Amino acid sequence: MDCEQLNPLYEEYALGILEGEERAEMEAHLARACPQCMPGVAKARFVVAQLALAAPEMQPPAALRGKIMDAAKSSANTAVAIPVAIPVAKPSAPRTLFPVWAWIAAAALALVTGYTIRQMGNQNAQLAELRKQMRLATLQSQALQNQIEQGRMVASVMMSPDSKSLKLMPTKDKNMPMVHAYLHPHMGVAITADEMPAVSPGRTLQLWFVPKNGMPVSAAIFRPGASGQIALVAPVTVPMDQIAALAVTEEPAGGSPQPTSAIAWMAQVN
Amino acid sequence: MLLAVVQPFPEGSQPADAELMERILQRDAGALETLYDRYGRPVYSLVLRIAQHPSSAEEIVQDVFMQLWRSADRFQISRGPLEPWLFTMARNRALDFLRLKREKQRRREDSSDSEVVPSMIARPDPEGAIDRSRRAEKVRSLMSSLPDSQRRALELAYFEGMSHSEIAESMGEALGTVKSWIRGGLMRLRDSLEEASS
């Protein structure tokens, strides 16, 4: 679906009532920070929030204000290709002594048999090719499903009013793009970025929770997509109030138990 | 254009929401007090409408404002104004309460609630709430102009957090009809608020 088709659905999405394919399409647009749908949904959130004003106006108990103020004053987180082995039949013919006519008949039979076997071989090859294409299509479909699901999760974290928005700034090359992070205590940490530089083969980017006390904790291993985009959600494995910062480093493929290179992007959290 | 309508306080009269949120980050309890005076009533009204239970509504409102106090850094003016953010947070909290209550009722563990819902109080709007009052009037007027079934479908979606299929079942209507009512109602609300802001 394109942005024009999604436009009349912004309010239903903001209301939390959009379902199925339409919801998945919307979240895919939001996950890639669609320049039309992002502001469209932001406006829709405002429109839908106005329904609150349709509630009959009531006066809260006078004591509630004091309770809140007293409480305030006292309170100071790849798809894998599967190689397919194709068995090929190799028929063999035994040699025996026969009269000439028998040789001619045998030769004719051999020709027919050979032709048939070759045809069968071709059919086997075609069948194998079809199977290979089907497996590829299945893998592509699974990858697309995963992408849509990931986009949905990213969008949910991004749009939640309970998420804390952070900007991870580049620490080495100031011309590098910033990485956006959205920390949600239950849904996880969503990471998005555009125009990220390619990561060398054999290397990966790794996201870390840097706790107030103790060693960094790995949050996720990722690589920018072909167009330099990043959109992922990882679980939050450190209590929110214990996270001092989020950091990204470049590590050997597969990630490292602890950072082995200088921080490339970072944002203070608490 | 539409978002411009939620700047309820002209510069120079009262501190803007963003400024108060900044002050809350500096642990200025007075800023929270000002925000409560500004939004306490609509938030309480919304929560009570959803929860239908005064003491629970009180707890939810307290929870919402304490969340504002503790997590003011989660609010960013660049992502939109405070009011819809606050209303969305209050609605989510109240709907969570409602779902929990329904779950308890399903398990027959719910105790009866004899509390009386306080009567509606018509009180003159303070200066700062005039814009909201105008929008409230617009929203109520729109809602009352909708056919009963369409209004009911919208209310079930917003105030009770029901899905299309739950609404269709509850109203005994076809799913397609319910979807069309809700989409139509929301589009009219969008148009009406856009007209009001232009």
Tens-place pLDDT, residues A179-207:
999 888 878 899 888 888 888 888 889 99
SS3 of chain B: the string is CCHHHHCCCCCCCCCCHHHHHHHHHCCCHHHHHHHHHHHHHHHHHHHHHHHCCHHHHHHHHHHHHHHHHHCHHHCCHHHCCHHHHHHHHHHHHHHHHHHHHHHHHHCCCCCCCCCCCCCCCCCCCCHHHHHHHHHHHHHHHHHHHCCHHHHHHHHHHHHCCCCHHHHHHHHCCCHHHHHHHHHHHHHHHHHHHHHHHC
Phi, psi of B101 (to 5 degrees): -65, -45
In this structure, the dihedral spanned by the alpha carbons of residues A193, A196, A200 and A203, taken in order and rounded to 10 degrees, is -20
Domain boundary among B123, B158, B188: B123
User: Which has more confidence, A130 or B121?
Assistant: A130
Domain boundaries, position B10: 6-123
Q: Give the closest residue to A219 by CA, choosing from A201, A229, A230, A232.
A: A232
Structure tokens at B130: 């005039």
Quick check: B120 pLDDT over 90?
no
Assigned domain for B1 exists = no
In this structure, are B35 and B16 located in the same domain? yes
In this structure, are B87 and B150 located in the same domain? no
User: Which has more confidence, B116 or B102?
Assistant: B102
Q: What is the reported pTM? A: 0.57
Q: Residue B169 sits in a domain of what CATH number?
A: 1.10.10.10
Give me the residue from B27, B45, B88 closest to A58, CB to CB: B45
Residue B108's pLDDT band (boundaries 50, 70, 90)?
A: low
- Tell me which chain B residues have a C-beta less than 8 angstroms from the C-beta of A76: 27
**ipTM of the complex in this document:** 0.82
- Residue in chain A closest to B163 (alpha carbons) equals A17
Q: Name the strand (E) or helix (H) holding A247.
A: strand A243-252
Number of domains in chain B: 2
- Interface A:B, Cβ pairs < 8 A: 170
In this structure, are B113 and B142 located in the same domain? no
Q: What's the whole-number average pLDDT of chain A?
A: 81
Q: Whole-angstrom Cα distance, residue A265 to residue A11? A: 35
Which CATH fold topology does A164-268 show? Answer: Immunoglobulin-like (2.60.40)
Q: Give the closest residue to A48 by CA, choosing from B84, B133, B5.
A: B84
Q: Whole-angstrom Cα distance, residue A65 to residue B155? A: 28
Position B5 scores a pLDDT of: 41
- Tell me which chain B residues have a C-beta less than 8 angstroms from the C-beta of A19: 163-164
